[in-house]
Amino acid sequence: MSSFFITTPIYYVNARPHLGHAYSTIVADTMRRFHASLGEETFFLTGTDEHGDKIVRSAEKIGTDPQSFVDSVSREFRTLWPKLGIRHDRFIRTTDPDHMEKVQRFLQKVYDNGDIYFGEFGGHYCTGCERFYTEKELENGLCPQHLTKPEFIQEKNYFFRMSKYLPWLKEYIEQHPDFIRPERYRNEVLAMLEGGVLEDLCISRPKSRLSWGIELPFDTDYVCYVWFDALINYISGIDWPDGDAFSKFWPGEHLVAKDILKPHGIFWPTMLKSAGLPIYDHLNVHGYWLIRETKMSKSLGNVVDPAVIAERYGLDAFRYFLLREMPFGSDASFSEEALINRFNSDLANDLGNLFSRVLSMNAKYFGSALPPSGPVSEDDRTLMDLADESMRNWFSLFGSVQFAKALDSLWELVRALNRYIDRQAPWTLYKQGDNARLGAVLRLLMECMRKTALCLWPVMPETSEKLLHQLGQTLPESELFGTAPNYDLRTEIGVWNRMTEGTPAASSNLFPRLEMPEELKQAAEAEKQTAKAEKQARKQNRKNVITEETKPAVTFADFEKLDLRVGTVLSCERVPKADKLLLFKIDLGETEARQIVSGIAQHFKPEELVGRQVCVVANLAPRTIRGIVSQGMILTAENGDSLSLPAPTSMVPAGSKLC
Ligand code: MSP
């Protein structure tokens, strides 16, 4: 029997659980349920990350000790998950004694392998990030994340020889295209590896400065760096090195957001390699939930409480919305208007309507008994093929973490079922007294509805159960959870007439339409007006660009003098004391990276450009800007006051010619 192991990040306990944490944990829950529905034995690990400076300071702020502080916030996470329909197998805390013991074992193993050394180190330490910054990484002397002045600390510390494993990691990622997915994050990690800026990892903190951590087994004056400790939860949580769960479930898959790509994409695989352990199967990376295009933050007062939303709109509607609305890997905007709109169109109109139409007709025409199937018409065959195709798509898309597309493809079936009802017009068959065909039509609809309800179980477990119940069926839940290992939902493809027993009920719509509250309507209208005004301004600008800036024609020979190339951004940082300038290192397929200075700092965040492809004028004569030699120019597209970076629609080899 194959197995599936999924993890979420273990969350810091210095913030209360919010929409972002809920999203990752709900997605992991649906992945786990999806694999259970394929007959796999599953294990789902989540928990809290409780060591480090930040925690000590947060505890101090409210006048308590670190242990009481972490106990109380960790409890909030642990008690929230069941309310969101999440079933995890273990909730790990980095203060759990078994985890602490295993971290020490792991450290000792890496130390014994000769991959940990002692050295002197000076760096700018930001407590917000719990990490050291080099001079180059600071922006005007400040931490680029928190815009606070880091403390310069010179001290002796232990280092993990990460650099030793970087060439191996690069090759591994190149040879395993979906190891880190979606592809854009794989490219980002590759760009970090190609940038040549990664060094060995400082993995200790002297106890004189911080004692809230796990003691190093080979030097009791030091505690372990919080990230090194935290990442090990992924194996300590399944009882590494010799527990049954570890041998059954490792290697597994991780799910994280883009903020913690580097520790998961680089630190963790090299740590595993050094300890002689197999590395994980997949790192699944998702984007950020934004609130009206901005980050959620306590100070903006826009933090979304998932328990409130689940309570207000129903848990399953909330889960459905999260998976359907965010294309996996990209950012998405959360708003209650969007949730209500999705609820009304997908759940009330398409799905709810389908069930209430079919089941009320079945109640009316057959007294709710399950009608027998009949001869298959051409239209029936088309529908059956579509149902099989939707299920096939469901398995392949959901299995490759494309949840929104998977749901969209399932909804194609739901909508096709509604259209089939309109075409077959059971009410006319009834009037004509054609009971055999009437029964066959309703029966086929119900067979397809059963398949849909079964597929939906990972995303909307309660709804799936209720829909099946309305069809007089039961959910093979105990089987889906692996106690009957031979059950595999994929065996339903191409198989019909499985509904042999049970009495369909007359149904009520599970998703009655929601009214949009007046204040949300007004907010949506205001947003629409702003978008319209912006669009008009852009159109106007475009006209201006075309009329005012058209230049005289050049000959083809002149055009050919330009060497235009596609480049991959290896690194990008702000030029100190220059508001507008960014310094790029760009791979143009040459032996050395190009250094290019570009005046676009007010339009882009440097960290968002790393890994992206840009178009470059490669043979522009070098120019010196603020003392830095710039060897080319990055092309931008102007749109009024904003800029975007033109790039090929899919990745091409660095240095590809533009012609
Ligand atoms: N403790 C570390 C993780 C250690 S894992 C070995 C940490 N904790 S965190 O509390 O900051 O959690 C970060 C994670 O929370 C993100 O990777 C993501 O899973 C989730 N999210 C937090 N805010 C989010 C959004 N706004 N949107 C989507 N998910 C986000 O980093």
Q: Catalytic: which of 109, 129, 164, 466? A: 129
pLDDT band with cut points at 50, 70 and 90 for residue 15 = confident
Name beta bridge partners: 108: none
- pLDDT(545) > 60: no
Looking at residue 501, its pLDDT comes to 67
d(CA 149, CA 142): 5
Determine whether 146 is an active site residue: yes
Please give the biggest Cα pair distance in the chain. Answer: 91
Which atom number of ligand 1 is nearest to the Cα of residue 287?
28
Dist. CA 604 → ligand 1 center (Å): 23
Determine whether 580 is an active site residue: no
Q: Phi and psi dihedrals of 179, rounded to 5? A: -65, -45
Which has the higher per-residue pLDDT, 545 or 534? 534
Best mutation site among 259, 280, 288, 333 for ligand 1 pocket (most ligand atoms within 8 Å of CB) = 259
pLDDT band with cut points at 50, 70 and 90 for residue 551 = confident
Mean pLDDT along residues 305-321? 97
Looking at residue 549, its pLDDT comes to 53
Residue pLDDT, tens place only, 202-234: 999 999 988 899 999 999 999 999 999 999 999
% of the chain residues with pLDDT over 70? 96
Q: Residue 561: how many CB atoms within 10 A of its CB?
A: 9
pLDDT band with cut points at 50, 70 and 90 for residue 543 = low
Q: Is the peptide bond before 182 cis (omega within 30 degrees of 0)?
A: yes
3-state helix, strand, coil in the chain (%, to 5): 45, 20, 35
pLDDT band with cut points at 50, 70 and 90 for residue 480 = low
Mean pLDDT along residues 29-49? 95
Q: Catalytic: which of 61, 136, 146, 605? A: 146
Q: Catalytic: which of 126, 202, 448, 572? A: 126
Best mutation site among 11, 27, 322 for ligand 1 pocket (most ligand atoms within 8 Å of CB) = 11
SS (H, E, C) 512-523: CCCCCCHHHHHH
Ramachandran category for residue 357: left, alpha or beta (phi over 0 → left; psi -120 to 50 → alpha): alpha
d(CA 470, CA 467): 5
Looking at residue 31, its pLDDT comes to 97
Alpha-carbon distance values, 546 to 484, 538, 641 (Å): 67, 12, 15
d(CA 279, CA 189): 16
Looking at residue 608, its pLDDT comes to 83
Which has the higher per-residue pLDDT, 475 or 106? 106
Contact predicate 118/158, CB 8 Å: yes
Dist. CA 259 → ligand 1 center (Å): 7
Determine whether 455 is an active site residue: no
Locus of tokens 């810091």: 12
Round the CA-based radius of gyration of the chain to a whole number and report it: 28
d(CA 7, CA 378): 46
Which has the higher per-residue pLDDT, 551 or 368? 368
Looking at residue 182, its pLDDT comes to 96
Determine whether 572 is an active site residue: no
Looking at residue 436, its pLDDT comes to 96
Atom 8 of ligand 1 has which residue's CA nearest to it? 11
Determine whether 143 is an active site residue: yes
- pLDDT(169) > 60: yes
Which atom number of ligand 1 is nearest to the Cα of residue 268?
6
Alpha-carbon distance values, 276 to 271, 272, 280, 282, 484 (Å): 9, 6, 13, 18, 35
Q: Give the range among 7-21, 165-179, 282-296, 467-481 with minimum mean pLDDT.
A: 467-481
- Could you tell me which of 465, 454, 443 has the C-alpha nearest to residue 493? 454
- pLDDT(298) > 80: no
pLDDT band with cut points at 50, 70 and 90 for residue 74 = very high
d(CA 96, CA 103): 11
Atom 12 of ligand 1 has which residue's CA nearest to it? 11
DSSP 402: -
Mean pLDDT along residues 142-156? 86
Dist. CA 253 → ligand 1 center (Å): 16
Q: Give the range among 302-306, 597-601, 651-655 with minimum mean pLDDT.
A: 651-655
- Could you tell me which of 43, 86, 38 has the C-alpha nearest to residue 454? 38
pLDDT band with cut points at 50, 70 and 90 for residue 88 = very high
Alpha-carbon distance values, 133 to 285, 395, 575, 576 (Å): 24, 44, 16, 15
Looking at residue 240, its pLDDT comes to 98
Q: Tokens for 509, please give them.
A: 């719509």
Name beta bridge partners: 286: 257
CA–centroid distance for 260 within its chain: 11
Best mutation site among 16, 24, 84 for ligand 1 pocket (most ligand atoms within 8 Å of CB) = 24
Residue pLDDT, tens place only, 105-148: 999 999 999 999 999 888 888 877 777 887 777 888 888 777 88
- pLDDT(290) > 90: yes
- Could you tell me which of 484, 491, 492 has the C-alpha nearest to residue 1? 484
Q: Tokens for 150, please give them.
A: 């880091």
| Type of residue found at 191 | A
Mean pLDDT along residues 365-379? 94
Contact predicate 460/452, CB 8 Å: no
Looking at residue 481, its pLDDT comes to 52
- Could you tell me which of 81, 113, 87 has the C-alpha nearest to residue 17? 81
b/e map of 444-477 (b: 16 or more CB within 10 Å)?
A: bbbbbbbbbbbbbbbbbbebbbbbbbbbbbebbb
What DSSP assignment string belongs to 158-172?
Answer: EEE-GGGGHHHHHHH
**What residues flank ligand 1, with Cβ below 6 Å?**
9-12, 20-21, 23-24, 49, 230-231, 233, 256-257, 259-260, 288-289, 296
- pLDDT(484) > 80: no
Instruction: Work out whether strand 90-93 and strand 41-49 pair parallel, antiparallel, or are unpaired.
Output: parallel
Instruction: Work out whether strand 180-181 and strand 282-286 pair parallel, antiparallel, or are unpaired.
Output: parallel
- pLDDT(650) > 90: no
What DSSP assignment string belongs to 149-218?
Answer: PPEEEEEEEEEE-GGGGHHHHHHHHHH-TTSEESHHHHHHHHHHHHTT---PEE-EEETTT--SSPEETT
Residue pLDDT, tens place only, 585-609: 998 988 888 999 999 998 888 888 8
d(CA 653, CA 136): 29
Looking at residue 550, its pLDDT comes to 62
